[in-house]
Amino acid sequence: MAVAALEAEILSLRKRRQLYSLIGLLLVVAVLVSGYSKSNSMNSGGFLQGLEKFFDYPGEIVMEAWDAGPAFFGLIIRYIPAMLETLNIAGVATLLGGAMAVVLAMASTRNVDSYGPLIPVVRRMMDIMRAFPELIIALFLIFVLGSSPVPAMIAVAFHTAGALGKLFSEVNENIDRKPIEGLSACGASWLQRIRFAVMPQVAPNYLSYFLLRLEINVRASAILGFVGAGGIGQELRRTIGWGKGAGDETAAIFVLLFITIMIIDQTSSYLRGKLVGSGRAH
């Protein structure tokens, strides 16, 4: 009798859960429909009407690239210097931001015997550095310093320091403290404990995150070109704004950007796999 009552109770709970799920699904659909209707009424053109033209511009770019023939490959070579400038921005910014991130991570982790009152201050600093996107920082610096790759480099490095510092500090929290305690018992200084007990444990993960951040920064540096920070993004803005006749150049830049990102992605993926001890990172 007790088993029958239990089965009836389970069946009742299951029906109630299905009812709640159905009500939740209907609410989500209602919100999506009302949101679509509202946003569609606020646009100058309708979503469905615009959807029909979605592939018009990409189609024009592909056709112009096709019409260019073998000269299209010359366009790809022509934009390699701009791509190298973007890579330089990303590389320098990642190096500077990574170095700052190591200092911030060590100063914000209790597990490595950092100065206690300093920890919350450094953590809030990293929160602020991550809170502002590279684009916002770059726009402010371009207003102050003028249009050049330097504002982009500073903006990317600033954001990288906050983002990597957070990841590095989480790595520090998971290290084994026995080597630190052993060196402390021998009278080692804080810097000596960091060098000989902490860095050997965290270096592989640090480098893995560093390579991942380099990939992200290449994309970020390309985007910053749209606001006048130089590099391949600035050329892309020019060709897109040029109107008809520059579609082949736009396609060449897209192809070059795709090839570069793919090479960096595959190279860093391979290196990360080596660093963490597996055959391949995905």
pLDDT tens digits, 24-35: 899 998 888 888
Rounded CA-CA distance 168/104 in Å is 9
User: What pLDDT sits at residue 161?
Assistant: 92
Half-sphere exposure of 173 (CA within 13 A, CB side): 9
What is the spatial distance between Cα 52 and Cα 50, in angstroms, rounded to a whole number? 5
Q: Which amino acid is at 64?
A: E
What percentage of the chain reaches a pLDDT higher than 90?
A: 13
* Cβ neighbours of residue 237 closer than 8 Å, sequence gap 6 or more: 225, 226
Residue type, 154: I
pLDDT at 244 (0 to 100): 57
Checking if the pLDDT of 41 tops 60, the result is yes
Q: What is the DSSP letter of 216?
A: H
Question: What phi and psi values does residue 253 have, to the nearest 5 degrees?
Answer: -65, -40
Q: Count Cα atoms within 13 angstroms, Cβ side, for 275.
A: 20
3-state secondary structure (DSSP) of residue 281:
coil
Average pLDDT of the segment spanning 72-82: 85
b/e for 149-177, b at 16 or more Cβ within 10 A? bbbbbbbbbbbbbbbbbbbbbebbeebee
pLDDT in tens, 225-271: 877 777 788 888 888 776 556 778 888 888 888 888 888 878 877 87
pLDDT (mean) for 101-122: 88
> pLDDT averaged over the chain?
83
Q: Is residue 188's pLDDT more than 80?
A: yes
| Tokens found for residue 46 | 């309708």
Q: Is a pLDDT exceeding 60 seen at residue 280? A: no
Which residue bears the tokens 């080597």? 179
Would you place residue 96 in the very low, low, confident or very high pLDDT band (cuts 50, 70, 90)?
Answer: very high
State pLDDT tens for residues 130-185: 888 888 888 888 888 888 888 888 999 999 999 999 999 999 888 888 888 888 88
